[in-house]
Chains A and B, each alone.
Chain A
């Protein structure tokens, strides 16, 4: 008999920018939605993010990037997850991401991009409905 399963999400800031307002707001919103949020701080390389995601056995990774380097960083994270056989982890992102980049990012395996102004409840619902089903 299993207790209520907790959703675990890694909120990560890849790249060099230090604008963590969005990451912190979403981390708090996830906590208030009952998730366990792993926050690893600023300036994480894709390798560090993937390593943390695997050790923490998270259901999803939320990436926040405001430097404009998302086109390199986000796909690299998905690629590393695949290499380590962890591509069942749902990767989504947000930040200053122009509409025209979204299709390319989705093709690269990023499940969803939340553009500026998205309500936190949208992201919460997204995580609840899109993570893998398991014990």
Chain B
């Protein structure tokens, strides 16, 4: 220790000498490009990082080893030397038939993980024939109105052999029940199926705004699925705690991480309050982060994320099972960093973002296609995006050693600074009474709106350069060809199917199942006692539609209106 201190002292002196004798004269001759340098999130970056920046750094405490707490260097002992990350590309549009074809194609190409994108009516819990669904059916994803659609979606796909990720939030429990009902029909037992529900409702209130019910019943639904999963589906991830959308809404990297972790804490606390031991569900929680342009900030973010989560789970929640301490994460390159101008440049952006995710140690990755600012990707554009990951995996050599950036004075300093700022936010949220209360008061929402406006102003002032948008602008641009979707045709088909379904099913049975669900939903303080999931399953098996089931909840719980935060 004393040796270290002596060493640091020597370095500091040498740095001073370097500044006076070498740097200052050089700056006199040609000054730096800017007075200060900042990350895309506005975090200040110093000129040079040396061991002096890491004076009280403790290798075993701060870094440790891969697969060991605090997991700074990665969650698995051999990381990508053992298994590469999962290249999981999000897909889905149009009718269940079309998406089923797409899934079969992807599986034939060797992909083992499916990722379902639902259309907006489904995400909001409306059937395709609801007036609010006009113009939206099948547009941003696949339309699923009932079990009948889910059966078509997974027709001919053996569900014990694939893992399925479903990007769905407010109606997550209902879509999950539909998936489970398909498994039942295929004769696959619950404990054999694996997959992930996004099911992260807090970030909907904060960022993506696909909420339906007020906070309290929304949280109840999430806890319900966690409890049901813990009892019956040991291989399923019931919640994917997501920072992705928080970042897309305009947050900084630090806000993204802090609010995501705070959301995770809220789920952990609510589930523990419902009576479940932390180690009975924490290993099944997974995460989903954004990867933006600022290369080192993103790497630091992933490293800090693992450290913060491990400390929280061990120290605050008393988790004993080391698997409960792990922050395993999916990542997606930043949609908001893509530009409509000179769209081929997006391939380069995505490559760099993807590289940051890998150097940050993620477990799974979606790379955006170059045309995604304007529409869902074409097949060609999606293929380039997948190839980008394959090139990083197989040609660059960055997977040969674990955490290749570990020990960099800069990366370690930045990781630590990000972590410190995250703790500051977490303390602030504690002071507000926890994340649910903070969201109710609009705290994270306001922070994000402010950050996004600040960023916009720096872009417009030219302080932040966006190539092709505010610098290096092209005079005339050749448009790229885009995927066209005709919602009217899809809607017609879906509406016809709903009408046929309602004419052909046992409507008495549907009514009975919905009545049972209503009573359970209206029940007082039922958290963790009488679960909603089995009743949702009953309604789904009777071919109640998504809109009917969500309608029961809408009536029982009301709908959320957000506070005006601008």
Chain A interfacial positions (CB closer than 8 Å to B):
15-21, 24-25, 27-29, 39, 41-43, 45, 67-69, 71-73, 96-100, 115-117, 119-121
CB-based contact B453/A25 at 8 Å: yes
Q: Which residues of A contact B466 (CB under 8 A)?
A: 117
Q: How far is the CA of A114 from the CA of B250 in the complex (A)?
A: 19
A interface footprint on B18-34 (CB within 8 Å = 1, 0 otherwise):
00000000000000000
| Interchain residue pairs A-B with the least CB separation, the first 6 | A18-B209, A72-B135, A69-B135, A16-B120, A116-B340, A117-B469
CB-based contact B132/A16 at 8 Å: yes
Q: Which residues of A contact B126 (CB under 8 A)?
A: 16
Q: How far is the CA of A99 from the CA of B482 in the complex (A)?
A: 10
Contact of B562 among A42, A67, A99 (CB under 8 A): A42
Would you give 10 A-B contacts (Cβ < 8 Å), ordered by A?
Answer: A16-B136, A21-B248, A24-B449, A39-B566, A68-B485, A73-B135, A117-B340, A119-B460, A119-B470, A121-B460
A interface footprint on B532-566 (CB within 8 Å = 1, 0 otherwise):
00000000000000000000000000000110101
Q: Which residues of A contact B375 (CB under 8 A)?
A: 68, 96, 98
CB-based contact A25/B124 at 8 Å: no
Contact of A24 among B210, B211, B452, B485 (CB under 8 A): B452
- Nearest CB in chain A: distance from B28 CB, A: 37
Q: Which residues of A contact B121 (CB under 8 A)?
A: 16
- Shortest Cβ distance from A99 into B: residue: B479
- Shortest Cβ distance from A73 into B: residue: B135
16 additional A-B residue pairs with CB within 8 Å, beyond A19-B248, A21-B250, A100-B482: A16-B123, A16-B133, A18-B208, A21-B249, A25-B250, A29-B456, A41-B564, A42-B562, A67-B136, A68-B139, A98-B375, A98-B482, A116-B339, A116-B374, A117-B341, A119-B470
Interface: B131 (CB within 8 A): yes
Q: Which residues of B contact A28 (CB under 8 A)?
A: 449, 453, 566
Q: Which residues of A contact B120 (CB under 8 A)?
A: 15-17, 67, 69
Q: Which residues of B contact A71 (CB under 8 A)?
A: 135
Q: How far is the CA of A72 from the CA of B132 in the complex (A)?
A: 12
- Shortest Cβ distance from A43 into B: residue: B132
Q: How far is the CA of A20 from the CA of B140 in the complex (A)?
A: 16
Q: How far is the CA of A116 from the CA of B469 in the complex (A)?
A: 9
- Shortest Cβ distance from B339 into A: residue: A117
Q: Which residues of A contact B341 (CB under 8 A)?
A: 117
Q: Which residues of B contact A41 (CB under 8 A)?
A: 561-562, 564
Q: How far is the CA of A6 from the CA of B131 in the complex (A)?
A: 36
- Nearest CB in chain A: distance from B554 CB, A: 13
Q: How far is the CA of A72 from the CA of B133 in the complex (A)?
A: 11
Q: Which residues of A contact B336 (CB under 8 A)?
A: 21
Q: Which residues of A contact B135 (CB under 8 A)?
A: 15, 69, 71-73
Decide if the interface of chain B is mainly helix, strand, loop or mixed: loop
CB-based contact B140/A68 at 8 Å: yes
- Shortest Cβ distance from A27 into B: residue: B566
Interface: B204 (CB within 8 A): yes
Q: How far is the CA of A100 from the CA of B121 in the complex (A)?
A: 25
Interface residues on B, range: 35 or more
Chain B interfacial positions (CB closer than 8 Å to A):
120-121, 123-124, 126, 131-136, 139-140, 204, 208-211, 248-250, 336, 339-341, 373-376, 449, 452-453, 456, 460, 466, 469-470, 479, 482, 485, 487, 561-562, 564, 566
Q: Which residues of B contact A72 (CB under 8 A)?
A: 134-135, 487
- Shortest Cβ distance from A115 into B: residue: B340
Contact of A96 among B209, B374, B566 (CB under 8 A): B374
Q: How far is the CA of A19 from the CA of B456 in the complex (A)?
A: 16
CB-based contact A25/B340 at 8 Å: no
Q: Which residues of A contact B453 (CB under 8 A)?
A: 24-25, 28-29
- Shortest Cβ distance from B559 into A: residue: A43
**Which of B139, B336, B375, B562 has the most C-beta atoms of chain A within 10 angstroms of its own C-beta?**
B139
CB-based contact B124/A16 at 8 Å: yes
Q: How far is the CA of A119 from the CA of B561 in the complex (A)?
A: 30
CB-based contact A69/B487 at 8 Å: yes
- Nearest CB in chain B: distance from A134 CB, A: 27
- Nearest CB in chain A: distance from B34 CB, A: 21
Q: Which residues of B contact A16 (CB under 8 A)?
A: 120-121, 123-124, 126, 132-133, 136
CB-based contact A15/B136 at 8 Å: yes
Q: Which residues of B contact A98 (CB under 8 A)?
A: 374-375, 479, 482
Q: Which residues of A contact B373 (CB under 8 A)?
A: 96, 116
- Nearest CB in chain A: distance from B244 CB, A: 12
Q: Known contacts A16-B136, A115-B340; is A24 also within 8 Å of B566 by CB? A: yes
**Which of B133, B135, B485 has the most C-beta atoms of chain A within 10 angstroms of its own C-beta?**
B135
Q: Which residues of A contact B248 (CB under 8 A)?
A: 19, 21
CB-based contact B460/A39 at 8 Å: no
Q: Which residues of A contact B123 (CB under 8 A)?
A: 16
- Nearest CB in chain B: distance from A8 CB, A: 16
Q: Which residues of B contact A73 (CB under 8 A)?
A: 135
- Shortest Cβ distance from B121 into A: residue: A16
- Shortest Cβ distance from B372 into A: residue: A96
Q: How far is the CA of A24 from the CA of B469 in the complex (A)?
A: 20
Q: How far is the CA of A43 from the CA of B130 in the complex (A)?
A: 13
Contact of B209 among A42, A45, A120 (CB under 8 A): A42
Q: Which residues of B contact A67 (CB under 8 A)?
A: 120, 136, 139-140
Q: Known contacts A16-B120, A115-B340; is A25 also within 8 Å of B139 by CB? A: no
Q: Which residues of A contact B449 (CB under 8 A)?
A: 24, 28
Q: How far is the CA of A96 from the CA of B140 in the complex (A)?
A: 12
Q: How far is the CA of A37 from the CA of B133 in the complex (A)?
A: 27
Q: How far is the CA of A39 from the CA of B566 in the complex (A)?
A: 9
Q: How far is the CA of A100 from the CA of B250 in the complex (A)?
A: 28
Q: How far is the CA of A37 from the CA of B563 in the complex (A)?
A: 16
Q: Known contacts A19-B209, A24-B449, A42-B209; is A69 also within 8 Å of B562 by CB? A: no
- Shortest Cβ distance from A97 into B: residue: B374
Q: How far is the CA of A30 from the CA of B384 in the complex (A)?
A: 39
